[in-house]
Amino acid sequence: MAKIDRKFSKELKKYGAFDFTSCYNCGNCTAVCSLATKDEAFPRELVRLSALGVKEEIESSLKPWSCYYCGECSSLCPQSADPGELMMSLRRWLTARYDWTGLSGLLYKSVPVLVGAMLLMVAAVILFANYKQFNVKEIMHFGHLFEMYAIATVFLLILLPNILRMWYLTVIRPGKNPPFTKYFKSAGVLFLHMFTQKRTLGCDDNQRRWFEHFILVIGYLTLLMMTVLLGWMGTENIFVIVAGYLVSAIVFIVTADFVKERIKAKKELNRHSRLKKLSRHSRPSDWLFVIWLFLMGLTAFAVRLFVDLDIINNNLWIYLIHLTVLVQWALIIVPFGKWTHFMYRSFSMYFQSLITENNKGS
């Protein structure tokens, strides 16, 4: 028997949920949702469960990850209960639940903490540079090592345990033990969704946007790999250097076009929507990942340019900026921010397919 928890709705509102308690359960949101199916119906059900505050059920639900926030439900809600934003808040809340450190929740709920953490990273980089007496070569060498170690550490200590927690909460605790072999059989689903995010097409039929997004994911990933594994910034290999420039150029052009389209679409939506406040509730942390990714690419590009122009020794500051952005990205934004949504979504599809296949089997 599930226990009603009235504090839950108050807590959820700290994660951005709007006036979802005014929902009168008409079900328009579920009817209009292009991703909801008969077997997997949302958002009304989750709005109701959230109002009741039955935490355990919400914790074990994968449905919040099935929503890609097109906003259709919110614009049609007769009670202005903003179900789309509720789904978003549930994802933020779940991210905080999965995170064993508890930092995700803290960073979502408090802007000062977020800003403080970012400033702490700035201070750390400056102190470190000071400690190395602003020796360009040593700092750049360390920076390269840091990239590799930081990513490995974050993955092992934060992301992996969190994925395991998600797995425990959504698959194991509700008692849906899939047979061992299914984990391999369903692995394809995980990679398909992680790299293509193809489910968004069911929500938004803008193929161009999806394709650009796909290019960006691949592009940034390539750029990251080139910097971390091939050492783009320090290498003498002319092939790597040129390839790096090329990828950077593609990424910048596509990013610019993507942002432009996004702004246009939002204006359009606002003009047609009764609910002008749509997306007004996006948290600062939602945007950090995208901006920082861009800044990282931009500063990496600038550093490589400075190296090639041979002016890096007198302009260490550009590398320090890059390092700061990198550190903030790797230690704060990736493990505790919006980026994890991308990871959890893919795993949610994976877990869902484990469970459904299991049900089919039995």
Residues that bind other proteins (CB under 8 A): 1-4, 6, 9-10, 19, 21-22, 24-25, 45, 48-49, 51-52, 54, 79
Minimum CB distance to other proteins, residue 44 (Å) = 9
CB of 178 to other proteins, least distance (A): 24
CB-nearer residue toward other proteins: 52 or 228? 52
Q: Which is nearer to other proteins, 47 or 94 (CB)?
A: 47
In single-letter form, the type of residue at position 329 comes to W
Is the separation of the CB atoms in 87 and 46 below 8 Å?
A: yes
The least distance separating other proteins from the CB of residue 98, rounded to whole angstroms, comes to 24
Q: How far apart are CA 227 and CA 147, in angstroms?
A: 9
For the record, the structure tokens of 343 come out as 């990871």
Between 3 and 272, whose beta carbon lies closer to other proteins?
3
Closest separation between CB of residue 25 and other proteins, Å?
Answer: 5
| Long-range own/partner contacts, residues 253-260 (CB < 8 A, 24 or more apart) | 254/212, 254/215, 254/216, 254/219, 255/216, 255/294, 257/212, 258/209, 258/212, 258/213, 258/216
The values of phi and psi at residue 144, to 5°, are: -65, -45
Return the amino acid letter for 84. G
Closer of 83 and 337 to other proteins (Cβ)? 83
Least distance in angstroms from the C-beta of 54 to other proteins: 7
Residue 342 Cβ vs other proteins, minimum distance, rounded to whole Å: 30
Nearer to other proteins, 3 or 360 (CB): 3
Q: Tokens for 139?
A: 């700092």
Alpha-carbon separation of residue 278 from 65, 79, 82, 337 (angstroms): 19, 14, 8, 21
Our CB check for other proteins shows the closer of 80 and 153 to be 80
> Under a CB-based contact definition with an 8 Å cutoff, are residues 325 and 296 in contact?
yes
